[in-house]
Amino acid sequence: MNKTWIVAKHVFLKNLKSPSYYWMLLAPFVFVLIGIGASFLINKAVSGKQPTIGIVGQPQQVSLLKTALKSKASVKSESSLKAAKNALSNEKIDAYVKTNAGYTKTEIVANSKSSANFDSSSISQIISSLKTESAVAKLGLSAKQVKSITAPASVKTKYVSVENKKVSQNSNNGGRSVRYLFAQGATIIIFMFLAIYIQMTGSEIGTEKGSRILESILAAVPARQHFTGKIIAIVGLFIFQLIAYIFIALIAFALAKPFNYSKYLNLVDWSQLGTSFIVLTALITLGAIIIYIILAAVFASMVSRQEDVAKSTSVVMWIAMVLYFLSFAVASSANAPVFKVLSFIPLISQSIMPIRMAVSSATTFDALIALALQILIILLLVKFASGIYARNSLDYGDGKPLKKLLKYFQSKNS
């Protein structure tokens, strides 16, 4: 077996047997479940106590509001505004509502320190509805006329492509919002993966050098092959994690019906995403992870002490973070020339190209070009980075990584 693959197999299996790797794998699900559980318990505790609301108004208004708020609050009549204020100050009620005869002017006063779950927006909606009913009754309109007036306008939005003075229909118009949400979610997940694997790469490369065992390793394995093997192993760990998440997702979908949460999954029309969109987003993500892993490995190889690894790889992390936040501006101006160009640049294409595809600003062909550029950069980076690693692997000087990198370029040019 080639020495590169021997190194790759050793590093891959070493991490695969580590409990910390499986904690990293399952931690997102653990925290999500804890969050859902905590949210459920908090909502149950808060929703368990209904607010008591005093109504200052006519008997008919009290009756109507009592019926409308039956499941949301306990409603009682207050003889006057003064009585309502006294009841509120003595904490006999959590809020009071004062309205005039036509519901045209309403005041809601609530105790901000009350432990009851008070929702003023639902009361506002009910009063607006009662105001409409009151106005309709005065005008003497029929039920059909009221339905016609209150019915929402029918608005249909279509997105088309205009190119060379020709207008063409965009395919999958209905799935635009679904694809956009998927792309935004993917952008956040990509950043999380980048943070995890930049740290893992730094630790894997820097630990050996910092502990001074690299000399004996490189006596048996050439530096370039050792570097490439480690990169292959770390990329393999990422692919293993992706496969594990796909497997977990398939199990979650299979258990949706038996555990009665399929209604939540059915809120999204998953078919609107499209196979090509998902596959290209996944491949561009993989390409970006590989690029950042290589960059992290380069910077980690330049440290002389193990404790300097985090400082060294933080440069790569800052690059990823700045480009990540830049991607939030894409949705509103996906067709801006600057974002069109940036979506093809390997270091940031994983954050911009999926969003441009989601809003039909980029085609499948554009994504393939971005992917091809990533592959080209990866091939060039592996050759370039392995050379830097070979040069710095046994260099224990205290020079800063960026200075060492500049020295490498100077030596190449001289």
Three-class SS of residue 169?
strand
Confidence of residue 160 (pLDDT cuts 50, 70, 90): low
124: left (phi over 0), alpha (psi -120 to 50) or beta: alpha
Share of the chain above pLDDT 70, in %: 79
Output 54 or 44, whichever has higher pLDDT.
54
Mean pLDDT estimate for the chain: 78
Condensed to tens digits (0 to 9), the pLDDT of residues 308-325 reads 777 778 888 888 888 888
Structure tokens at 134: 């009151």
DSSP structure class, residue 97: E
Position 62 scores a pLDDT of 79
* Closest alpha carbon to 104 in 126, 127, 81, 125: 127
Share of the chain above pLDDT 90, in %: 5
**Residue keyed to tokens 């003497």:** 140
Position 50 scores a pLDDT of 75
Position 371 scores a pLDDT of 93
Position 89 scores a pLDDT of 85
CA 409 centroid distance within chain: 38
Output 207 or 173, whichever has higher pLDDT.
207
Position 80 scores a pLDDT of 83
Condensed to tens digits (0 to 9), the pLDDT of residues 288-315 reads 889 998 888 888 877 766 677 777 788 8
Can you tell me the mean pLDDT for 363-389? 88
Position 400 scores a pLDDT of 57
Can you tell me the mean pLDDT for 253-265? 73
Confidence of residue 205 (pLDDT cuts 50, 70, 90): confident
Least confident of 71-80, 280-289, 395-404: 395-404
Output 404 or 376, whichever has higher pLDDT.
376
Helices (H) and strands (E) in the chain, counts: 16, 6
**Residue keyed to tokens 């020295």:** 407
49-142: CATH topology is D-Maltodextrin-Binding Protein; domain 2 (3.40.190)
Confidence of residue 403 (pLDDT cuts 50, 70, 90): low
Condensed to tens digits (0 to 9), the pLDDT of residues 15-53 reads 888 888 888 888 888 887 888 788 777 766 655 567 888
**Single-letter amino acid, residue 106:** T
Can you tell me the mean pLDDT for 169-182? 63
Cα separations in angstroms, 354 against 11, 121, 176, 372: 32, 37, 12, 15
**Residue keyed to tokens 């550029």:** 373
Position 212 scores a pLDDT of 62
Answer yes or no: is pLDDT of 214 > 70: no
Position 376 scores a pLDDT of 94
Position 372 scores a pLDDT of 94
Position 281 scores a pLDDT of 87
pTM: 0.68
Q: Where are the domains of the chain?
A: 3-30+173-413, 49-142
